[in-house]
Structure 1
């Protein structure tokens, strides 16, 4: 397994898509800082990094897997390592590791942007409404990583099913922009079925903000613990489906 991870890390490290993802994150955060109100909310959400990191992950994850088939390297990969589960898990691990890297980069850039645009205006350890700014930022980034686990499983499943990277990216953008709105709309249209609808996968997007905004529980109708468990479980289910499709997919 360690050898498989090293091989996948080498390939990922030499793919430009990983660099593009990082540069895109830095660009959208800088844009958020330039156009935002420079208040506490901007800081605790990392200048919208909590929204953009999952979108970057679904694009990078699908591209990382799709390139094996596009470049026909999947044949050599399977020839060298017939254990498809090992290959699948190694790729999954590398993408999640990349998500952690992006989250760390987002935290560091949030500090830098705050020093540039609002120097001395906010004290990171100051308690505001019962929470410190640094505490809320770290919690939101941690929640974003949980959502990235979900997104990772989803993107791997989708790229195995639809086999078109562009479609997977479009689905990621769809989830990022209107997924939560559709979930809320469904619960408003069918109030008698809220206890069932609230568990739909579109509701998982709330995790990136709800852990520091208790008011969102009235919108998602899920407690923090329920949201965390459901997000992880969906990630496992989607990832498992993706693996079984990959296992039986012809090359």
Structure 2
């Protein structure tokens, strides 16, 4: 397993996609900083990174798996390692580690942007809504990491199911930008079964912000603990479905 993970990490860091993802994240954060008012909320939301990182992971993750089939390297991979579970887990962990790299990069970039833009009316220990900015930032990062696990699992499942990377990316974009709106509209349309509908996977997108902003509970209708448990459940479900599809896929 360790050997497979090392091989996947080596392949990944030597692909341009990993660099493109980092550059895209930084540029998007700079754009957000320059086109919106820089304040405590900007830093807490990591200048939009909490929304962009899962989308980047979906794009990069699906491409990382798809290239094995497009380049026919999956044959060599299966020849060297007949256990598909090890291949799948190694690729999954590689993209998840990349998500942690993206999260770390976003924090550093956000702090640098707050300094460069000279927004000094607050500091990390300023209390807003009963919590310091540092705690709220940490909660957002935690939510982003949990949501990243969800995003990676979903991207692997979708690329095995749909097999077209461009379509997976489009679904990822739609999920990230319209998921909460669609979920809210669905619960309002069918209020009698909202207690069931609130557990739909689209509603899990709220985890990227609700941990630091409890008032989102009124919209998601899930407590922070319920949201965490729901996101982890769907992450596991999508990961298992993705593996089953991968195991059955012909090469």
TM-score range, shorter-chain basis?
over 0.9
Question: What is the distance in 2 between the residues matched to 1:105 and 1:10?
Answer: 20
The equivalent of 2:187 in structure 1 is 187
SS in 2 for 1:212: coil
Q: Is the 8 A contact 1:204 1:227 kept in 2?
A: yes
Is the Cα–Cα contact under 8 Å of residues 9 and 94 in structure 1 kept in the other structure? yes
Q: Is the 8 A contact 1:66 1:163 kept in 2?
A: yes
> Offset of 1:119 from its aligned partner?
4.2
Cα displacement (A) at 1:240: 0.3
Which residue is 1:235 aligned to?
Answer: 235
Residue 169 (1) aligns with residue 175 (2): no
Tell me if 1:81 matches 2:112.
no
Partner of 1:210: 210
- CA distances 1:181-207 after superposition (whole Å, capped 9, x unpaired): 000000000000100100000000000
Cα distance in structure 1, aligned partners of 2:29 and 2:134: 17
Q: How big is each residue's C-alpha offset from its partner over 1:93-150, in whole Å with a ceiling of 9 and x where there is no partner?
A: 0100000110010001110000000343221112222111121112101101100111
1:112 aligns with 112
Match of 2:123 in 1: 123
Q: Supply the distance in 2 between the matched residues of 1:150 and 1:18 (Cα, whole angstroms).
A: 19
Would the alpha carbon gap of residues 249 and 225 (structure 1) be closer, same or farther in structure 2, given more than 3 Å must change?
same
CA distance in 2, matches of 1:128, 1:237: 36
Tell me if the contact between 2:61 and 2:152 (Cα under 8 Å) persists in the aligned partners: yes
Equivalent residue number for residue 51 of structure 1? 51
Alignment partner, residue 245 of structure 1: 245
Q: Report if aligned partners of 2:153, 2:236 keep a CA contact under 8 Å in 1.
A: yes
Q: Give me the TM-score of the superposition, normalised by structure 1.
A: 0.99
For 1:175 and 1:143, locate their aligned partners in 2 and report how far apart those are by CA, in whole Å. 16
CA distance in 2: counterparts of 1:129 and 1:218, whole angstroms: 16
Q: Distance in 2 between matches of 1:177 and 1:8?
A: 30
Question: Structure 1 CA distance, aligned partners of 2:148 and 2:26?
Answer: 18
Q: Does 1:24 align with 2:7?
A: no
- Regions of 4+ moved over 4 Å: none
Q: Is the 8 A contact 2:38 2:119 kept in 1?
A: no
Q: Give unmatched runs, 5+ long, in structure 1.
A: none
In structure 1, distance between residues paired with 2:138 and 2:27? 21
Aligned partners of 1:157 and 1:242 also within 8 Å: yes
1:93 aligns with 2:93: yes
Aligned-pair RMSD on alpha carbons? Answer: 0.7
Contact 2:39 2:119 in 1 (8 A): no
TM-score by length of 2: 0.99
1:38/1:118 contact within 8 Å kept: no
Unaligned runs of 5+ in 2: none
